[in-house]
Amino acid sequence: MPTADTAYSRLEERFRRIYALEQATGVLDWDRATMMPDGGAEARTNQLTALEVTCHELLTHPEVGDWLDEAETTVTSDPAALSDWQRANLAEMRREWRHASAVDASLVAAITEAEGRCEMIWREARPNSDFEAVRPALQTLLELTRQMANAKAEAFGCSPYDALLDGYEPGGSSAEIDHLFDDLAVFLPGFLSDVLDAQAARGEAETPQGPFPIEAQAELGRRLMAAVGFEFAHGRLDVSHHPFCGGVPDDVRITTRYDESDFASALMAVLHETGHALYERGLPGDWRLQPVGQARGMAMHESQSLLVEMQACRSPHFLAFLAPLAREAFDGQGAAWEADNLHRLWTRVQPDFIRVDADEVTYPAHVILRYRLERQLLDGALELSELPAAWNDGMVALLGIRPPDDRLGCLQDIHWFSGAWGYFPTYTLGAMTAAQLYQAAEESLPQLSESLREGDFRPLMQWLRETVHSQGSRLSGDALITAASGRSLDPEVFKAHLRRRYLDA
């Protein structure tokens, strides 16, 4: 094992400092999205920029590269010098160093500042459906993102898009995504038609009638979060413009947004983000401030949220537990509040404009559209001024509906306006992974359906803790899926899940 004087030990100490600062950044980001008054935007941008630049400088200092070289040489000559976890940590350190070293500190500062400005303008532009108001700020951010993508592409020897993708999905490639998404794009239209026909034959589900008071929605959300396994001593639930999970593993923050006419939207967002939170809480505590102790990419992260929300919490078993709680929370009466009706209602398939409210069948089309558009924008094949029209045309082509305004179109998601370019594919990769992991959990836990019917998530969470959460980034994404499910990611598992739920039910 390394002593305090080895290159590897010095790397561990450097990354402890970096991750502590990045955790502070995470809490400040959460505050900006939930609590910060608009007048604090400039000061907060300056704070975040200072932290980002400091982290970048700590990581790219010449001594870090020397330590990496020395530690890798030591391991090559004596593999036993480091444990399996330490060797995996060293590999992740090198990957993060390569990302950081490809970009100058001045560009890091410029991007962070542009992200802060653009997001604050987007907050006002979105409800007003005013794309032109945010377009100049987004253009600046896009141009800076292109610079970063090109610099990283040169360092990694890949395309600019793949360089950005690697920041969210290590080892991911647009070639693989194209293959998966093109396959889904062929499968989904015919499948969607079959589902809509089957759904029409079964008749419409009843919709519970509101209004649904926001505090009652929040209380129900907190009750279900606790049932799933959320620890309020280590986290909280708040409101933001866009649902998200933030904070740090020991203080994980989730948000939702409420609609008094539809309690399901906020509730399912809460359950979705709770899945993210449980992944963060389950990461290996001994490696909390090291690269190997972080989540294994955003596809795996999205799989954990979708496994909770879509696979488990929209199942008829869990809805048998949820239905009486919802009826009690809103003083509901009649058949609309029965579990079988809520199951039909909350698995209803209907093309819609909003991604976060989309059903499982149409959701991949939302992601495919965003993936294609962001690649075109980054490559320069699509001008930003053309985005609203291209978005609307894409919705017609993929889902047969045209957004009436940009609020329901290209302004709906925060991602591009906050600098998250290359993120969107991980949503559908995560959906595929969730279906595969849930199938493996069912095979390992014969009583899973009954435990969900009782609102008992402990068997499922224990299985996920052992197979996924506790592994951190020790394994590659493919190796982690294979170890947990017995095979690499297989889109046929996702398709089979969709057929069972929406055609065989």
Catalytic site positions: 273
CA 505 – CA 353 distance, rounded (Å): 26
CA 117 – CA 130 distance, rounded (Å): 16
Please compute, for residue 135, the number of CA atoms within 13 A of its CA located in the half-sphere on the CB side: 14
Amino acid at position 140, single letter: T
- Strand-pair category, 251-256 with 235-239: parallel
The full DSSP string for 174-237 is: HHHHHHHHHHHHHHHHHHHHHHHHHHHHH-PPPPPP----HHHHHHHHHHHHHHHT--GGGEEE
237 neighbors 225 (Cβ within 8 angstroms): yes
Torsion angle (degrees, nearest 10) of CA 282, 286, 292, 296: 0
Burial 20-50 (b: 16+ CB within 10 A, else e): ebbbebbebbbbbbbebeeeebeebbebbbe
Closest CA to 149 of 353, 379, 359, 363: 379
The full DSSP string for 470-500 is: GGTTSS-HHHHHHHHHSSS--HHHHHHHHHH
3-class DSSP assignment, residue 243: coil
Q: Cα–Cα–Cα angle for 327, 328, 329, nearest 5°?
A: 95
Task: Please list the helix, strand and coil fractions of the chain in percent, rounded to the nearest 5, in that order.
Answer: 70, 5, 25
Place of tokens 């929209």: 314
Query: What Å distances lie between residue 327 and 219, 221, 263, CA to CA?
Result: 13, 13, 12
Residue 130 has phi, psi (to 5 degrees) of -115, 80
Closest CA to 320 of 331, 330, 312: 312
CA 383 – CA 233 distance, rounded (Å): 47
Starting from the edge strand earliest in sequence, which strands make up the sheet with 245-248, in order? 235-239, 251-256, 245-248
3-class DSSP assignment, residue 332: coil
Q: Which two tokens stand for residue 319?
A: 């809805």
CA 259 – CA 239 distance, rounded (Å): 12
Place of tokens 């239209």: 189
134 neighbors 121 (Cβ within 8 angstroms): yes
